[in-house]
Amino acid sequence: MSRFGVIALAAVAALITSCGGESAPRSAGDSAAPRTVGMPIDSVTTAPNVFRVRFETNKGPFVVEAHRDWAPLGVDRFYQLVRSDYFDNVRFFRVISSFMAQFGMHGDPRVNAAWEKMPIQDDSVRESNRRGYLTFANAGPNTRANQLFINIVNNRNLDELGFAPIGRVVEGMAAIDSLYADYGEGSPRGNGPDQTRIRMEGNAYLESGFPKLDFIRSARLVTDSSTATDTRDSSAKKR
């Protein structure tokens, strides 16, 4: 259970929701056997210094710009997840409007388990958890794996707790602001989903018990990301 999902809201913060299923080739031109979408392609890929990822959601698109110099290990893992199509059909399973939107637990328990078995070491905190910034959740030191959150408000208190942002939303923060938040905090402290059951049952549990959760349709690298600029969405600026 992530420290985000266990410690009180004022003390800490986020985790994740995701899904998968259909078989697909590993990559264009690769003759390897089919794999389950979302399963790791590899766990050692080094990310570009700066790249962008476009998320398509049921509430509209948003774009994240990742910066490897902010948190290299975290950005490498995010890049690996995106390349694996990991976020397809992933739910925003913990959304608290005055805090953050958490996602990354895969809808296929087998896929979720595969990534959770490959945690990464911690990065130093070089950027602050400001509104619109993307950060990995964790279950304690050196446990980051596949769950992330987007700060909906400024959460600088998370900096001293070791939560290192890896990027920021540069387009489409309005989609994040519109995510369904009425389920609130997760079980047992609130009426939201139980993370243990997500691990065991995946999207079947979320779809039956929490049908209003918003979700990611896809997350793909932006092809011209090498020219990403420092321009940020005005809604994600420091407030």
pLDDT of residue 75: 98
Global pTM?
0.82
Sort residue 5 into left (φ over 0), alpha (ψ -120 to 50) or beta: alpha
Gap between the Cα atoms of 199 and 207, Å rounded: 14
Residue 15 lies in a domain: yes
Task: Give pLDDT, residue 33.
Answer: 52
Residue 221 belongs to a domain with what CATH number?
2.40.100.10
Q: Residue 157 falls within a domain, yes or no?
A: yes
Q: What is the greatest pairwise CA distance in the chain? A: 49
* Residue type, position 70, single letter: W
**β-sheet bridge partners, residue 102:** 94, 149
The domain total for the chain is 1
Identify the pLDDT of residue 34. Answer: 62
In terms of residue numbers, what domain contains 16?
Answer: 3-21+38-236
**pLDDT number for residue 190:** 87
Instruction: Spell out the residues 6+ positions from residue 229 whose beta carbon is closer than 8 angstroms to its own.
Output: none
Residue 228 falls within a domain, yes or no? yes
Per-residue confidence in pLDDT tens, the chain, 239 aa: 444 443 333 344 333 333 333 333 333 344 455 668 899 987 788 999 999 999 999 999 999 999 999 999 999 999 999 999 999 999 999 999 999 999 999 999 999 999 999 999 999 999 999 999 999 999 999 999 999 999 999 999 999 999 999 999 999 999 999 999 999 998 888 899 999 999 999 999 999 999 999 999 999 999 864 444 443 343 444 44
End-to-end, the C-alpha distance of the chain in Å comes to 31
pLDDT for res 38: 94
Domain assignment present for 29: no
- 42: number of CA atoms within 13 Å, CB side? 6
Does 30 fall in a domain? no
> How do 35-36 and 165-171 pair as beta strands?
unpaired
CA 226 and chain centroid, separation:
22
Tell me what pLDDT residue 230 has: 41
Residue found under tokens 């321009």: 231
Q: Give residue 156's identity as a one-letter amino acid code.
A: R
Q: Look at residue 113 and tell me if it is in a domain.
A: yes
Per the domain annotation, does 159 fall within a domain?
yes
- Residue pair 101/137 in contact by the 8 Å Cβ criterion: no
The pLDDT value recorded for residue 111 is: 97
- Whether 144 maps to a domain, the answer reads yes
